């Protein structure tokens, strides 16, 4: 038994032998020897582990090719891709795309010096997020605002600053997990806050909160279940009631609304909480992400009562989770667009609000381009998702092109690894390209990528 597993191990090449091969030397000259050695070592470790499970090692040139592909990918860094999934806020593909002007401004700030923390009038030290905070308070009516690195950091900072060593009350229906790493119970523990679970998974009443209050309670927290819905026999006390209960007991009430809808606008379902609405309901603090419905860069926004925001601002964790200058610059641009009702300049908003007929126009253009080359591309109606932990269960009618393939998963894999990489949906008959998240400028590249991926299905061109 052990012999069989050990047998394939013998022909696994040594790192140095592959490094000294011609491709190994050429790659070392281009990417640096340390990087090539590192990816070779990692790839060989995996081959060895597979061999121990009885998997025969691939030929040396395949091992080399896999390792060099890794080195090349690391050396070239992040790459642009085409998002044909129709998921507007796709976490795997970077959530909200920035407006061109916001991205250009971030790049300009990054490549030179800026007045990041200096007030030009006085030469005195300023705060890097001061301008963004003015815009945030202007749009939402909050007393004060603070910007940190991301939504999770905003929650962590607020918990650490307001409830460390004390109790925070949260409904059992809202002990959410977002994206696998952000879990309310875990972040409470990390902040040194004792989580007091209130009510049940599907029904929690205000009286449950009242009963859970004690002299150790330092915070009542409400969390928007931004990536799922509890349906059926359910109840959660409204923010307004929790705010009143908290106020009566002299405890702050914080509402993590998740998505960063600043104010209610037409076309967004009324059950999605907005920052303005949460503040009007009496929330003492409201927190949300910058790169979800706000349509900006990764950031965490905290709004609310001046005294509380100031406590957060002075807490040591605030420095550990501060924003970068590129984030601040892009955020200022996006907030200025919200403040002056120029939301059409924000790609997330443009994509969410584009009528299905307009999307259909791009689908028809793509289908027509593809049709000359291959049969089996047809325009179909489909639904786009908002994604990114926003508007769960809410879809936007859209339009796409379904390209038939005898082997849809294989075709999707070829699209993902093509140039430019394309991400799409898989159907029973082929792949579906949802045009809501594809711009007109990307259509030519998309058509070429599909034609290339399709040739594999049909090498003779039929």
Residue ranges that bind ligand PLP, judged by CB under 6 A: 150-152, 155, 178, 182, 223-224, 226, 256, 258-259, 289, 300, 389
Residues 6+ apart with CB under 8 A from 195: 167, 168, 170, 175, 184, 185, 188, 189
Task: Compute the least distance from the CB of residue 187 to ligand PLP, in Å.
Answer: 9
Measured in Å, how far apart are the chain's first and last C-alpha atoms? 49
User: What's the CA gap between 119 and 122, in Å, rounded?
Assistant: 6
Q: Of the two residues 294 and 432, which places its CB atom closer to ligand PLP in the complex?
A: 294
Task: Compute the least distance from the CB of residue 71 to ligand PLP, in Å.
Answer: 30
Task: Compute the least distance from the CB of residue 180 to ligand PLP, in Å.
Answer: 11
CB atoms within 10 A of CB 138: 14
Strand order of the sheet with strand 430-434?
A: 377-385, 395-404, 430-434, 425-426
Q: Enumerate the β-bridge partners of residue 379.
A: 401
Task: Compute the least distance from the CB of residue 392 to ligand PLP, in Å.
Answer: 10
Q: Of the two residues 148 and 356, which places its CB atom closer to ligand PLP in the complex?
A: 148
**Residue number of the CB atom closest to ligand PLP:** 151
Q: Enumerate the β-bridge partners of residue 404.
A: 430
User: What's the CA gap between 149 and 323, in Å, rounded?
Assistant: 5
User: What's the CA gap between 296 and 10, in Å, rounded?
Assistant: 53
Q: Of the two residues 182 and 394, which places its CB atom closer to ligand PLP in the complex?
A: 182
Task: Compute the least distance from the CB of residue 278 to ligand PLP, in Å.
Answer: 12
Q: Of the two residues 102 and 433, which places its CB atom closer to ligand PLP in the complex?
A: 102
Task: Compute the least distance from the CB of residue 163 to ligand PLP, in Å.
Answer: 16
Q: Of the two residues 152 and 367, which places its CB atom closer to ligand PLP in the complex?
A: 152
Q: Of the two residues 131 and 224, which places its CB atom closer to ligand PLP in the complex?
A: 224
DSSP state of 388: T
The angle at the Cα of 188, spanning 310 to 284, to the nearest 5 degrees, equals 35
């Amino acid at each position: 038994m052990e012999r069989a597993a050990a047998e394939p191990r013998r022909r696994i090449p040594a790192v140095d032998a592959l490094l000294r091969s011609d491709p190994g030397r050429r790659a070392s000259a281009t990417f640096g020897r340390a990087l090539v050695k590192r990816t070779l070592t990692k790839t060989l470790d995996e081959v060895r582990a597979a061999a121990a499970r009885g998997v025969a090692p691939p030929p040396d040139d395949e091992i080399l090719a896999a390792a060099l592909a890794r080195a090349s990918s690391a050396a070239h860094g992040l790459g642009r891709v085409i998002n044909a999934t129709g998921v507007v806020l796709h976490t795997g593909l970077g959530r909200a795309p920035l407006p061109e002007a916001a991205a250009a401004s971030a790049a300009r700030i990054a490549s030179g010096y800026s007045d990041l923390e200096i007030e030009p009038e006085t030469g005195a030290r300023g705060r890097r997020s001061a301008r963004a905070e003015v815009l945030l308070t202007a749009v939402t009516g909050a007393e004060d605002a603070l910007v940190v690195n991301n939504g999770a950091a905003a929650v962590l900072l607020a918990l650490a600053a307001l409830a460390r060593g004390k109790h925070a009350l949260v409904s059992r229906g809202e002990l959410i997990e977002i994206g696998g790493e952000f879990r309310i119970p875990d972040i409470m523990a990390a902040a040194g806050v004792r989580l007091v679970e209130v009510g049940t998974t599907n029904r929690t009443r205000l009286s449950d909160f009242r009963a859970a209050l004690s002299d150790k309670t330092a915070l009542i927290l409400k969390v928007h279940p931004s990536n799922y819905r509890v349906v059926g026999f359910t109840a959660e006390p409204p923010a307004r009631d929790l705010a009143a209960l908290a106020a009566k007991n002299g405890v702050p009430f914080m509402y993590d609304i998740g998505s960063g809808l600043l104010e209610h606008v037409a076309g967004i379902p009324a059950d999605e909480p907005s920052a303005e609405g949460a503040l009007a309901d009496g929330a003492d603090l409201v927190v949300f992400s910058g790169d979800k419905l706000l349509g900006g860069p990764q950031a965490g926004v905290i709004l609310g009562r001046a005294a509380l925001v100031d406590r957060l601002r002075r807490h040591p964790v605030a420095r550990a989770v501060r924003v970068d200058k590129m984030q601040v610059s892009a955020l200022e641009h996006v907030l200025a667009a919200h403040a002056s009702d120029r939301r059409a300049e924000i790609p997330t908003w443009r994509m969410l609000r584009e009528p299905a007929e307009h999307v259909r126009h791009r689908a028809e253009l793509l289908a027509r381009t593809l049709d000359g080359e291959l049969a089996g591309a047809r325009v179909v109606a489909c639904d786009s998702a908002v994604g990114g932990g926003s508007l769960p269960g809410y879809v936007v009618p859209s339009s796409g092109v379904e390209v038939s393939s005898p082997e849809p998963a294989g075709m999707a894999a070829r699209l993902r690894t093509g140039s430019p990489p394309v991400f799409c949906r898989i159907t029973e008959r082929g792949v579906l390209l949802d045009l809501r998240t594809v711009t007109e400028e990307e259509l030519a590249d998309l058509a070429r990528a599909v034609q290339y991926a399709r040739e594999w299905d049909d090498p003779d061109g039929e």
